């Protein structure tokens, strides 16, 4: 009689639970460790954050982490930085104003006789210094060539300008009397060429050309009434503007020349450009 084969024991289908439980245990332990580490770092970062907030807001933090505001009259860090920048800017403005005033004083000394006669005005404004010279001091009637007597004075002015770093604009102005010649069809051309004549002299005297600008305004910017002899003589002028764009907080107009002085009058028949 054949022998019976022994029956295999029943296979255990739940053995994977052992590995799974081990994996879950390790994963749980991993998250516990990560949580513990993150809690420590969070505490350190909170201390650092509180310290930074205290530094920038000028507050104190006590041992319990409670934020206490400092006294109101203590300047904050940002206020101190703004005050420092403001002080530097004010110092720069003061230096610029001082240079402008020194240049104005030197030019006024050079042109003192003409200033006393009322034919030159030196004016300090918020944009710089303006030296206003009557056209009859510099040019002949209807001409743009500089008078020999004016060349020496302008060269002395150029020496003062050459010692500064400010841009210089020379403006030519006329009265409203029309002019129509082959060389100067209108007051625009006459005023522009007169300004250019002064510019050329400054360049020859050593002023850097890049700092110089010539502009002709014709009769478009009068400073007096063209209905009078004195007004027309006042409007015929060359203005030398020493520009200082960073200058502010200076008097609106500090006149060095006598404010009531007028230009040398001219007759109605004279055509002085």
Q: pLDDT (tens digit, 9 = 90+) per residue, 46-69? A: 666 666 666 556 544 444 445 444
Per-residue pLDDT, 27 = 83
Q: What is the DSSP string of 141-162?
A: TT--SBPHHHHHHHHHHHHHHH
Return d(Cα 39, Cα 141) in angstroms, integer: 92
Residue 118 backbone class (left: φ over 0; alpha: ψ -120 to 50; beta: rest): left
pLDDT for position 214 = 96
Q: Which pLDDT score, from 0 to 100, does residue 41 have?
A: 56
How much of the chain is in helix, strand and coil states, percent to nearest 5? 45, 15, 35
Q: How far is CA 217 from the centre of its chain?
A: 26
Count of positions (residues) in the chain: 273
Q: What is the pLDDT of residue 155?
A: 92
Strands 237-243 and 253-255: unpaired
Q: What does residue 271 show for φ and ψ, rounded to 5 degrees?
A: -105, 105
- What confidence score (pLDDT) does residue 98 get? 80
Per residue in 117-130, pLDDT (tens digit) is 889 998 877 777 88
Kind of pairing between the strands at 168-173 and 212-216: parallel
pLDDT in tens, 182-234: 999 999 999 999 999 999 999 999 999 999 999 999 999 999 999 999 999 99
């Amino acid at each position: 009689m054949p022998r019976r084969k022994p029956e295999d024991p029943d296979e255990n289908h739940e053995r994977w639970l052992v590995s799974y439980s081990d994996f879950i245990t390790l994963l749980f332990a991993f998250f516990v460790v990560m949580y513990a580490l993150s809690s420590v770092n969070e505490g350190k970062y909170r201390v650092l954050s509180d310290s930074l907030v205290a530094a920038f807001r000028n507050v104190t933090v006590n041992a319990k982490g409670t934020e206490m505001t400092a006294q109101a009259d203590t300047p904050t860090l940002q206020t101190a930085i703004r005050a420092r920048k403001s002080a530097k800017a004010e110092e720069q403005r003061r230096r610029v104003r001082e240079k402008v005033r020194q240049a104005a004083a030197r030019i006024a000394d050079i042109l003192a006789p003409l200033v006393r006669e009322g034919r030159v005005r030196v004016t300090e404004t918020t944009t710089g210094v303006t030296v206003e010279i009557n056209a009859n001091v510099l040019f002949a009637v209807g001409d743009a060539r500089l008078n020999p007597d004016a060349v020496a004075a302008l060269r002395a002015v150029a020496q003062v300008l050459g010692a500064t770093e400010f841009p210089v604009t020379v403006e030519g102005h006329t009265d409203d009397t029309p002019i129509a010649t082959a060389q100067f069809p209108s007051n625009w051309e006459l005023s522009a060429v007169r300004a250019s004549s002064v510019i050329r002299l400054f360049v020859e005297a050593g002023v850097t050309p890049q700092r110089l600008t010539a502009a002709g305004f014709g009769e478009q910017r009068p400073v007096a009434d063209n209905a009078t002899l004195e007004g027309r003589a006042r409007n015929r002028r060359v203005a030398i503007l020493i520009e200082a764009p960073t200058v502010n907080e200076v008097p609106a107009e500090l006149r060095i020349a006598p404010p009531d002085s007028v230009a040398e009058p001219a007759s109605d028949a004279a055509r002085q450009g």
